[in-house]
Amino acid sequence: MLEKTRSSVEAVWGITLTGLPVVFLVFGFALVITGYLQTDPKLLFAGSVILASGAFAAILKSVIIASEASQWRGWLEDYRAGMIVTAVIAPGLVTAITLVISIRHWLGMSNGRALLLGVVGGLIGWLICAAIAKIFVAIHSANPAVYRNLCSRFQILEAQMNEVEKRLASRSEDPIVYALAEVKKYRSLLQEVLGGEKSTQNFSAQDWIGASGYIRLWELLHRAEEALILLAPLETVAADAWHDQLRLEGSNIDNRHALLQCLEKNLALLRRKVPLEDPAAQPNPTDQQVPAQSNLSDQQVPAVREMLRYVRRSINEFRDERRFGLVQARNRLLKTVVLTECIGFALAALAVIANATDISLTAATAFFLVGAVVGLFNQLYLDASTETATDDYGLSTARLLHTPLFSGLAALGGVLIIPLLTSGVHGAPASLSLATVFDLTKTPFSFVLAAIFGLTPTVLISRLQQEAEQYKADLKGSDSLNRGPVVSSNAPSS
């Protein structure tokens, strides 16, 4: 599923980068020619801006093509990842620079030139930020906490595999040979990334900034640990099975009852081979369902191991799906932020091109900031009461970027709509103009409206927050550390 998602995103990204430069260049050139023939400065300016945008997109496409074929491939790949990371601030930079130049009239520029300078300055600032962010797109810096957790788990896996290989070097039974080959394959894939080797074949910087690479590593690590159940000593297998029992008892897995029955039955069989008291010190009713036998034969042990492996895989897949859900929610939210910022810039550019006064631009900016601050404080208050022990792969950070933007735009909408509606109700809609609405001296009560409407996006994104909290609750619920002591160091907690 992750491979299909990544392939689809790359296909759409490639088509977009190929088609957009051509469309922008052709359309911009046509506008420039039309403006020149008709001596229309507005058409000339619009065509120049579109031509510059097309040229920038063409340069970006050239960089991407060069990154796939040149010796600078690694550097360019990291830089492209840095551009993706900092894309969330690019529209904001462009908008801020444009508004500052338009309000202050620096160098006596007209609004049209201020818009052009804002676009150019914002793009240059984006490229500089991308160069700085390039340092933080590697696996160990994109999400250090998850990376350390993966490394520690992989080190345990390697230590266990070294002992297993020594102990089973002379064994040639098919189950053992197959399990050893499977674990070695997973270990070699993990070794490329977590063993300190520099590899770009299976993973890229975009996998780490998008967090999908971490999910793939979790899946590989889990497959290796599951195969190790077929090779580990029976005492360790029995202890880990009890650990999985604790994880199932508090989880939200749909078929957890069937998995519990399967696990308890096979654990009861395993106790006939390995004397092991129940750590919970409670009688196990499943023991009464197992036919009385003097011992578990060696021929039955592989089947018991396979069933315990099946239970472990069901738990791991449940947790990996929840992690992937958090990653998808974060990436969707960041894309929404970038798109909304672009729309906000379009509104600001429209106001600048329409020669809005300095007073109106200043008032609109002030209303936006009031709504953004109120929404941000409200989001911080809500986050203080949510679960923070589970890593959400940057979803909470994405919400912090999302909330002030949407709150600021909602504040602008409230400041604009409420006075117009009130004026319409009183039967004099023509007596109120946009210049009056966006004038701090004439409508000081608009600050109150901006603060009130700054709280509305919290209601709109509550569904997303509930979904994310459910994912984190599922991860926490399937962690046995919340219900009892860990019996074996081999038993995973993720």
Residue 162 has pLDDT above 80, yes or no: yes
Q: Residue 214, CB half-sphere, CA atoms under 13 Å: how many? A: 31
Produce one character per residue of 38-77: b if its CB has 16 or more CB atoms within 10 Å, e if not: eeeeebbbbbbbbbbbbebbbeebeebeebeeeeeeeebb
Q: What's the rounded Cα separation, in Å, for the pair 147 and 17?
A: 32
Residue 218 has pLDDT above 90, yes or no: yes
- The residue whose two tokens read 């002591």 is 485
Which one-letter DSSP state was computed for residue 292? P
The pLDDT value recorded for residue 234 is: 86
Q: Give the 3-state secondary structure of 61-124.
A: HHHHHHHCCCCCHHHHHHHHHHHHHHCCCHHHHHHHHHHHHHHHCHHHCCHHHHHHHHHHHHHH
Residue 212 has pLDDT above 80, yes or no: yes
Give the closest residue to 50 by CA, choosing from 18, 24, 21, 20: 24
**pLDDT bucket at 239, cuts 50 / 70 / 90:** confident
Residue 223 has pLDDT above 90, yes or no: yes
**pLDDT bucket at 296, cuts 50 / 70 / 90:** low
- The residue whose two tokens read 């340069």 is 59
**Which segment of 294-303, 336-345, 395-404, 419-428 scores lowest on mean pLDDT?**
419-428
Give the closest residue to 41 by CA, choosing from 109, 112, 118, 105: 112
The pLDDT value recorded for residue 385 is: 66
Instruction: Give how far Cα 100 sits from Cα of 374, 408, 456, Å.
Output: 23, 17, 28
The pLDDT value recorded for residue 485 is: 37
Give the dihedral sign, CA 370/373/379/384: negative
Q: Are 402 and 337 in contact (CB under 8 A)?
A: yes
- The amino acid present at 357, given as its one-letter code, is T
Give the closest residue to 442 by CA, choosing from 387, 376, 372, 363: 363
Q: What's the rounded Cα separation, in Å, for the pair 464 and 418?
A: 28
Q: Are 349 and 115 in contact (CB under 8 A)?
A: yes
Percentage, residues of the chain above pLDDT 70: 74
Tokens coding 420: 């117009």
- Reported as type and span, the H/E element at residue 161 is helix 144-167
| Higher pLDDT pick, 464 / 368 | 368
**Which segment of 2-6, 99-103, 231-235 scores lowest on mean pLDDT?**
2-6
What does the pLDDT average to over 455-476? 70
**pLDDT bucket at 48, cuts 50 / 70 / 90:** confident
| Higher pLDDT pick, 2 / 213 | 213
DSSP string, 360-415: HHHHHHHHHHHHHHHHHHHHHHHHTTS--SS--TTHHHHHHHHHHHHHHHHHHHHH
CB within 8 A of 101, min separation 6: which ones?
109, 114, 117, 118
Mean pLDDT over the full length of the chain: 77
Give the dihedral sign, CA 50/52/57/62: positive
Q: What's the rounded Cα separation, in Å, for the pair 243 and 160?
A: 18
Distance of CA 128 to the CA centre of its chain: 23
Residue 333 has pLDDT above 80, yes or no: yes
The overall longest dimension of the chain from CA atoms, in Å, is 101
Residue 229 has pLDDT above 70, yes or no: yes
Percentage, residues of the chain above pLDDT 90: 7
Q: Are 210 and 323 in contact (CB under 8 A)?
A: no
What does the pLDDT average to over 135-152? 89
| Three-class SS state of 46 | helix
Give the closest residue to 42 by CA, choosing from 31, 52, 51, 53: 31
Residue 175 has pLDDT above 70, yes or no: yes
Residue 308 has pLDDT above 70, yes or no: yes
The pLDDT value recorded for residue 494 is: 44
**Which segment of 56-60, 333-337, 348-352, 428-432 scores lowest on mean pLDDT?**
428-432
Orientation of helix 301-353 relative to helix 234-249, angle to 10°? 50
The pLDDT value recorded for residue 489 is: 37
**pLDDT bucket at 217, cuts 50 / 70 / 90:** very high
